[in-house]
A and B are shown apart, each in its own frame.
Chain A
Amino acid sequence: MSNSDKVKTLTEAVSHFIQNGCHISFGGFTVNRQPMACAYEIIRQGKKDLHVYIHSGGQTLDILIGAGCVKAVEIAYGANGRFAPTCVRFRKAVENGELLVEDYTNYQMTLRFQAGAMGVPYLPVTSGMGTDIVKKWGFDAEMRRKDPRLPNRKMIVQNNPFAEGKPEPVVLVPAINPDVTVIHAQQADYQGTVRISGLTFADVEQARASKHVIVTCEELVEPGVLRAEPDRNHIPFFVVDAVVHVPHGAHPAACYGYYDYDAQHLNRYRTLASDDKTFSDYLDEYVFGVTGHEAYLEKIGTEALENIRAVSPYGYTPGLERG
């Protein structure tokens, strides 16, 4: 395969790398760099029984859960800041017993991806000893036994073997190696090298931990562009399997330096998502009712997109109506 073969359409990338029942992680954090375009395509292709790994899931996670694509989630946080104190469809699914959930902390999830990326079975951390994060499991022993991708225990508290004579408990958190990770970045090149602006969150660890990686990007550039300033790059091309050029691919979340979050849309989503019928209408209008992301953006409209255009040097839209 030549490197340029990595450039795919969203339809190709999703159908090729995302299978029913696969273990998948999504980059971004609450309302920033959410791989929304990919999430919409996953829904359109009717993917089912996904096992999702996420630290702070926002819009991507919520819409995938709402659309019935997710069977289980390992998570630290399901909220969208002021736009949803708890993600609406996530909350409903958990309260209705329709979703298997196992809770970790944000650092624990980060270290689990890091362990997967490093190729070690676990990493130690000193958060959570004695809490229900350690004590209460979301997945039972049988589920763990059935799926070889799951560790046989949630986490383990063990004394530091280097501190002999005095007990010094640490928590061991198991590595994650997803089948596929999807991230949305500002720039990628034809070979697959990725440059993220603003905060990286845990995207780099997530990508490196994963068997396959799909990158959607605002700008698809020639390799020479990113290689001219390699200090600013985050993921080397050989980690990445598919590169998809999707401008505004994080909408209605933000993409630092390119556009702000669409506060009106997120507020509207929260309202519509709180009722099954109106949520179904939302999916019909914005996901099933469009052929792809270009058609989605036409529906959002140029005026709405212009309103959230990021302003240099801030990277967001000063004075944006956010109420």
Chain B
Amino acid sequence: MNDYTSRELMAIAAAREIKNGDIVFCGTGISLLAAMAAKFIHAPGAIIFFETGAIDPDLREIPLTVADPRLMFGSCVNAGLAEAFATMQNPFLGPRVLGILGAAQVDRYGNLNSTCLGDYSKPSKRFPGSGGACDVGSFVGRTLVFITHERRRFVEKLDYFTTPGYFDGPGGREREGYKHGGPACVISDKAIMRFDATTKEMFLDRFFPGITPGDIRDCTGFSIDIHRAEPLEPPTTGELDTLRREVDPQRLILGNG
């Protein structure tokens, strides 16, 4: 039995979602851990790119922002925002992209808030804003969302609707004008959630070691189906070694907790 942190577990759970050949849109933080781990472990052909315009860089050290000079070295093309987002809006390339996003709030249909809490005109708490998240959630074939599992974050109604998931359920994206896409899964520090093919509602798919499906029901602010859930396969020694030794040896993102 290995010892590992919840952050390591989240990164590895997310890395497993990345397939060889995926074009991965990456933010910073834990999404980058997941993408780099996937590339080193089982998906060497995955292409990592950033909204700032860096495409498939040679990541020798982990970048701390998407404008970090570390993601400008050894890339196939160093471009800009216009090219990065056009790639995702492009009808041939966009569906191949997996977008990894974070958020402050998520609802049962995978819609996200990364803008503010309270009234928009004078918020009680301000977050960074969309950045490219709304664009990514609008354009790409599938998204993966990272979020801490708390009732105040898994909410019935978002304080601000930043990034489209499935809106109000089946047909919601199509009605608003989106051609494809939507969240494939939500990865929290406790579990992996997916979306029902028919209702587009979030359900519990895998719970992490030490967590029960009842725990997930209790820390989710809307009713969630927990009856299909199975325990997550714990991270292997190989996966953990790669994450710790190759992806983030300085533990800049992994942290010490």
Interface residues of chain A, those whose CB is within 8 Å of chain B, are 28-32, 55-56, 58, 75-83, 85-87, 90-91, 94-95, 97, 103-108, 110-111, 114, 125-133, 135-136, 138, 167-170, 197-205, 254, 256-257, 260-261, 263, 310, 313-316, 318-319, 322-323
Question: B78: nearest residue on chain A (CB-CB)?
Answer: A199
Which listed residue, A28, A105, A314, touches B67 by the CB 8 Å rule?
A: A28
Distance in angstroms from B184 CB to nearest chain A CB is 19
Q: List 24 A-B contacts (CB under 8 A).
A: A75-B129, A77-B128, A82-B65, A86-B127, A94-B116, A95-B122, A95-B125, A97-B122, A105-B131, A105-B135, A125-B135, A126-B179, A127-B135, A127-B139, A130-B175, A131-B164, A205-B80, A254-B67, A256-B72, A257-B69, A310-B69, A314-B73, A315-B69, A322-B64
Contact A106 B124 (CB under 8 A): no
Known: A310-B69, A323-B250. Contact between A91 and B135, CB under 8 A? no
Residues of A within 8 A of B123 (CB): 94-95
B144 at the interface (CB under 8 A from A): no
Contact B73 A323 (CB under 8 A): no
Residues of B within 8 A of A310 (CB): 69
Residues of B within 8 A of A131 (CB): 134, 161-164
Residues of B within 8 A of A205 (CB): 80, 82
Residues of A within 8 A of B12 (CB): none
Contact B128 A87 (CB under 8 A): yes
Residues of A within 8 A of B63 (CB): 81
B28 at the interface (CB under 8 A from A): yes
Known: A95-B123, A313-B73, A316-B69. Contact between A201 and B132, CB under 8 A? no
Contact B131 A129 (CB under 8 A): no
Which listed residue, A86, A198, A323, touches B252 by the CB 8 Å rule?
A: A323
Distance in angstroms from B130 CB to nearest chain A CB is 5
Residues of B within 8 A of A91 (CB): 125-126
Question: A168: nearest residue on chain B (CB-CB)?
Answer: B177
Q: How far is the CA of A43 from the CA of B82 in the complex (A)?
A: 31
Contact B60 A318 (CB under 8 A): yes
Contact B53 A82 (CB under 8 A): no
Distance in angstroms from B40 CB to nearest chain A CB is 18
B79 at the interface (CB under 8 A from A): yes
Known: A31-B67, A82-B28, A130-B164. Contact between A316 and B131, CB under 8 A? no
Interface SS of chain B: helix, strand, loop or mixed?
loop
Distance in angstroms from A13 CB to nearest chain B CB is 24
Which listed residue, B66, B179, B252, touches A30 by the CB 8 Å rule?
A: B66
Q: How far is the CA of A180 from the CA of B125 in the complex (A)?
A: 31
Please give 18 more A-B residue pairs, beta carbons under 8 A apart, in addition to A126-B139, A133-B130: A31-B67, A58-B67, A77-B128, A87-B128, A95-B123, A107-B82, A108-B135, A127-B138, A129-B164, A198-B69, A199-B67, A200-B79, A201-B80, A202-B81, A315-B69, A316-B69, A318-B61, A322-B252
Residues of B within 8 A of A256 (CB): 69, 72
Residues of B within 8 A of A322 (CB): 64, 250, 252
B253 at the interface (CB under 8 A from A): yes
Question: B179: nearest residue on chain A (CB-CB)?
Answer: A126
Distance in angstroms from A129 CB to nearest chain B CB is 5
Contact A83 B132 (CB under 8 A): no
Q: How far is the CA of A316 from the CA of B69 in the complex (A)?
A: 6
Known: A129-B138, A310-B69. Contact between A106 and B132, CB under 8 A? yes
B218 at the interface (CB under 8 A from A): no
Distance in angstroms from A91 CB to nearest chain B CB is 5
Q: How far is the CA of A127 from the CA of B178 in the complex (A)?
A: 8
Known: A107-B135, A168-B177. Contact between A126 and B67, CB under 8 A? no
Residues of B within 8 A of A106 (CB): 51, 81, 85, 130-132, 135
Which listed residue, A30, A132, A201, A313, touches B53 by the CB 8 Å rule?
A: A201
